[in-house]
Amino acid sequence: MAAYRDLSDIELTILLKEGNHSAFTELYNRFKGPLYIHAYNKLRNTEEAKDTVQELFTKLWNNKETLTLTSDLVSYLYTAVRNRVFRQIERKGLESGYISSIQDSIGNRSNMTDHRVRENMLSAMIEKEIAALPQKMREIFLLSRKANLSHKQIADQLGIAEPTVKKQVNNALKILRVKLGIIVYLLMLIR
């Protein structure tokens, strides 16, 4: 191996292209340290920097026969490390964005689910109490709140006086307020 240390990068590259494993080992030993430092300075992660250099040399060995250098070997290796580092940073950014998006989505879904469960429970309570109202009062109340008819429209539809409709709606709201509490009462006014 001592003889390989004395060879230039160009000579080692020629031997590498011929499949000379000792030439590859010399190139690896010659450049792994500086390339690791170059990758680490960008990634700030020991394992990722080691993996980047390892992947580069693995690809170099696997593609040795088709290796075409447009510049010297040193420039090729540093450019290859830089490109790998950029791809890793880009991939990590995308992964981080996906993870954040998924976490936000999960958080929103659990909040939405919790909200829907409470809303469904509240709706069931309201429906139960509305069903317990006296028949005529329930009918007027449902026309007012569910069908969104005005007091005049309800009075015309049922053939009763408009003040009677108003009084029945107010009485229904009083009953519901007592049975369901002030929160439901406010919700019913908003509906």
pLDDT for the residue 106: 56
Residues 1, 31: Cα–Cα separation, whole Å: 16
pLDDT for the residue 191: 47
Q: How do the domains of the chain map onto residue ranges?
A: 2-98, 132-190
Residues 104, 112: Cα–Cα separation, whole Å: 12
- In this structure, CATH architecture of domain 2-98: Orthogonal Bundle (1.10)
pLDDT for the residue 169: 87
Residue/partner pairs of 83-87 with CB below 8 Å, 24 or more apart? 84/39, 84/52, 84/55, 84/56, 85/39, 85/42, 85/43, 85/52
pLDDT for the residue 115: 62
Residues 64, 7: Cα–Cα separation, whole Å: 18
Per-block mean pLDDT, blocks of 10 residues, the chain (191 long): 83 92 94 92 89 93 87 87 85 65 57 65 76 88 85 91 91 79 55 47
pLDDT for the residue 25: 94
pLDDT for the residue 179: 73
pLDDT for the residue 36: 93
60-77, pLDDT tens digit by residue? Answer: 999 998 888 877 888 889
Residues 111, 174: Cα–Cα separation, whole Å: 32
The residue behind tokens 């005049």 is 152
Helix 21-43 to helix 46-62 angle (10° resolution) is 150
Residues 26, 34: Cα–Cα separation, whole Å: 14
pLDDT for the residue 133: 87
Q: Do the beta carbons of residue 151 and residue 162 sit within 8 Å?
A: yes
Fold of 132-190: Arc Repressor Mutant, subunit A (1.10.10)
